[in-house]
Amino acid sequence: MSENVTIQALGEIFQQHQTFALMSHVRPDGDAIGSVLGLGLALEAMGKTVHYWNEDGLPDNLAFLPQSDKIKRPPAEPIAIDVAIALDTATKVRLGESNLHAASLAPLWVNIDHHISNPRYGDMNFVDATSPATGQIVYEIIQELGLSLPVGSRDAIYVAVSTDTGSFQYESTTANTYRMAADLVDRGLLVGEINAKTYDNHPYRRIELMRELLNTLELKADGKIAHWEMLDATREQLALQPEDSEGLIDMIRAIQGVQVAVFFEELPGGKIRVSMRSKDRSLNVCDVASFFGGGGHALAAGIRMSGPLADAKQKVLDSLQQALDTTNS
Ligand code: AMP
Ligand code: MN
Ligand code: MN
């Protein structure tokens, strides 16, 4: 496994090259979009040419971020770039096929991430699994290199870290996270406004989805496992966007006595997306996800696996039950 490069070495790459493509994982969340925008706008402030690509484009719920319209789907054919940078992306394939094709001429790949399961697929890797969000790593890189931090980077980094820490609540949140947030506020970030745009502006269909999900909610293992599910038909009925389910799992994770929450989602085409949240490090959901080819963090992990839904549910729930038995024995 290759070692992390130093932040200084990253700084040299930024200095020496001109054209960068910044990418993050499919179905992007706040950290995926925020860390790409946060670093990209800082590179542009250095006079660099930056492409901002996401396989699925910019989700509507993050369109409030300044200059987020720079985030595009990748071009259909490869273009000449000096450096490809993957951010917040646990495995290279999670960038998506179009991204990989568009960036296939890149002579140098940089991998900046905080997933413990990251296999360090870059030519240069900077993977810090102790960081609560890739956005915080981007902030530390910008600070340590003494780069200027444009307003767009400031807001993007804040949203990246806020969304990945459950609004600065999860145990991954450190003193450095709060110091970073304080610095961003000192730089003029409007906390009330940005949090309202991030958390108090949901489309009605998201609440309708919540109602559907609640109707499927079940507890297992003496109330230690809570799970719910979404059928493909529901996506069509409610005209759902991928981001509409983001964060809803926290509601069932919060049930008293629940140790692990699971969300099963039927994807168009028959694959199943599984999202897991644990309350306790002794039940490591990244290990369970890795067993099925997924990954993530100890307390938050995901899988894309074959269906049908009933089979995927049984396999994952059995595996979690086993993990619980080991943990509690
Ligand atoms: P999610 O449940 O989709 O919010 O994902 C939880 C965490 O696991 C995030 O940090 C994801 O990036 C990561 N993750 C989700 N799905 C996968 C997967 N199929 N492979 C690797 N990591 C994943
Ligand atoms: Mn992410
Ligand atoms: Mn992240």
Quote the ligand 1 centre to 301 CA distance (angstroms).
5
Alpha carbon 36 to its chain's center: 11
Q: What is the pLDDT of residues 29-63, one digit of tens each?
A: 999 999 999 999 999 999 999 999 999 999 999 99
The alpha carbon of 25 and the centre of ligand 2 are apart by a number of angstroms equal to 7
Closest residue CA from atom 11 of ligand 1:
296
Residues found in the chain: 329
Mutate which of 115, 227, 244, 245 for ligand 1? The one with the most ligand atoms within 8 Å of its CB, which is: 115
Nearest C-alpha to atom 20 of ligand 1 is from which residue?
Answer: 294
Overall pTM > 0.75: yes
- Which residue(s) pair with 84 in the sheet? 21, 109
Q: Which of 316, 318, 321, 296 is CA-nearest to residue 306?
A: 316
Instruction: Check residue 123 and give its pLDDT.
Output: 98
Tens of pLDDT along 142-178?
Answer: 999 999 999 999 999 999 999 999 999 999 999 999 9
pLDDT per residue as tens digits for the range 120-132: 999 999 999 999 9
Instruction: Please report how many Cα atoms fall inside a 13 Å half-sphere around the Cα of residue 288, on the Cβ side.
Output: 31
Q: Is the pLDDT of residue 322 over 70?
A: yes
Q: Which atom of ligand 1 is nearest to the CA of 304?
A: 19
With 80 as the cut, is the pLDDT of residue 312 above it?
yes
User: From the CB of 302, is ligand 1 less than 6 Å away?
Assistant: yes
- Amino acid, single-letter form, for residue 55: E
Indicate the residue type of 7.
Answer: I
Q: pLDDT tens across 271-311, in order?
A: 999 999 999 999 999 999 999 999 999 999 999 999 999 99
Whether residue 260 is predicted with pLDDT greater than 90 in this model: the reply is: yes
Q: Is residue 46 a contact partner of residue 157, using CB atoms and an 8 Å limit?
A: no
Domains in the chain with CATH codes = 7-199 (3.90.1640.10), 205-328 (3.10.310.30)
With 70 as the cut, is the pLDDT of residue 1 above it? no
Pocket of ligand 1, candidates 55, 87, 297, 316: which has the most ligand atoms within 8 Å of its Cβ, to mutate?
297
Compute the distance from residue 111 Cα to the ligand 1 centre, in Å: 16
- pLDDT over threshold 90, residue 103: yes
How close is the Cα of 277 to the center of ligand 3, in Å? Answer: 14
Tokens for 243? 């981001």
- Where helices occur in 17-56 by DSSP H, the ranges are 30-45
Nearest protein Cα to ligand 1, atom 2: 275
Residue with CA nearest ligand 1 atom 16: 302
Are 24 and 95 within 8 A, CB to CB?
yes
Cα Dmax for the chain: 58
Give the pLDDT confidence score for residue 328 in this predicted structure. Answer: 76
Q: Tell whether the model's pLDDT for residue 241 goes beyond 90.
A: yes
CA–centroid distance, 89 to ligand 2, in Å, is 7
CA distance 58 to 68: 7
Q: Is 262 exposed, middle or buried, given 0-12, 13-18 or 19+ CB atoms closer than 10 A?
A: buried
